Amino acid sequence: MALQVQSAVSLKPFNTFGVDVSAKAFAEAHNDDEVRQALAFSAEHGLPLLVIGGGSNLLLTADIQALVLRMTSRGVCLLADDGEQVIVEAEAGEAWHPFVLWSLEQGLSGLENLSLIPGTVGAAPMQNIGAYGVEIKDVFHSLTALDRQTGELREFSLGDCAFAYRDSVFKRDTGHWVILRVRFLLSRAAHLHLEYGPVRQRLDEQGIVQPTPKDVSLAICAIRSEKLPDPAVLGNAGSFFKNPLVPASLAAELKRQYPGLTAYPQADGQVKLAAGWLIEHAGWKGYRDAGNGAGVHRLQSLVLVNYGNATGLQLLNLAQRIQNDIAQRYNVQLEMEPNLY
């Protein structure tokens, strides 16, 4: 099937902030061949190629002078099953949360803590998405990506991806690879991660003593729904800032000044601070810019929201003001999670 390329397309439906910018050219790739056609079109017309998934990790600050390629490939299958561990493969365009639900329906454990995260399967390894003590790297088997320069396919193992906190080789080298499909190593037996207090507390409140992966998923969906706005109702990109990693000495100093600060010691000796606590304590929670729709969510200070017709630049300006304030107050640098264009 020939790639259908459109000109001057609004990207408002394709980014969860609901920012209205246009793409010079736009197409959807349903399979590997259409990805190759997009690369050829891009080269032929001298246009950069910007690959997007669910648009849930983008902040668009201007019209995009590129071919924007939305990955819409579909398909999920079991590749191997030894009765204990199962390898599952999903195409890059599969929506993430429905894929998690599908895995639970198959009786598989591993993805339940990652329930209700927006986006697509193909974008998940780029960010090494994570929640409630589990990251993609913990359930990752391998993936297939297309080299934009050579057109060749390459298989990536866990080590090849160089996963780090909300980071990977694909995020650090955005113009090199197009992720086509991803494989996950899941389990028939439940190996639950209940370290995060709110999850255990929710299960206890429900009287669930021996939770199943489905129970954990439902609990996490309930927690996320209460705290995080639905992008279909209120434009947002989920957590906007990464939890900062700081030296133990700075964390100890901040703890002395602010005993309520949430901090998690890391294996490498650094300490991860809760960005949401810092932002809320600085008074930004529920903030709304006068005159435009950029703001901070009233229940979750990690989430920037578009209350109406905020531009990407207005949202970026708000984010930068928050960064500057946190740096001055706490000597902590906040890093943005979304990719900026």
Write down the number of H helices and E strands in the chain. Answer: 9, 19
C-alpha torsion sign, points 81, 86, 90, 95: positive
Q: List the structure tokens of 249.
A: 């000495």
The pLDDT profile of the chain, 341 residues, written as one tens digit per residue, is 789 999 999 999 999 999 999 999 999 999 999 999 999 999 999 999 999 999 999 999 999 999 999 999 999 999 999 999 999 999 999 999 999 999 999 999 999 999 999 999 999 999 999 999 899 999 999 999 999 999 999 999 999 999 998 899 999 998 899 999 999 999 999 999 998 778 999 999 999 989 999 999 999 999 999 888 999 899 999 999 999 999 999 999 999 999 999 998 998 999 999 999 999 999 999 999 988 999 999 999 999 999 988 999 999 999 999 999 999 999 999 999 999 99
Structural domains of the chain sorted by starting position, each given as residue range(s) with its CATH number in brackets: 6-71 (3.30.43.10), 76-187 (3.30.465.10), 235-340 (3.90.78.10)
Q: Which of the residues are catalytic?
A: 166, 239, 337
CA–CA dist 94, 82 (Å, integer): 25
Give the global pTM.
0.92
CA–CA dist 255, 37 (Å, integer): 55
Residue the block writes with tokens 């939890």: 243
| Strand pairing category for 22-29 and 58-59 | unpaired
Please name which of 92, 114, 99, 122 lies closest in space to residue 30, comparing C-alpha atoms.
92
CA–CA dist 59, 310 (Å, integer): 11
What is the DSSP secondary-structure string of 142-195? EEEEEETTT--EEEEETGGGT-BTTB-HHHHTTTTEEEEEEEEEEESS------
8 Å CB contact between 244 and 334: yes
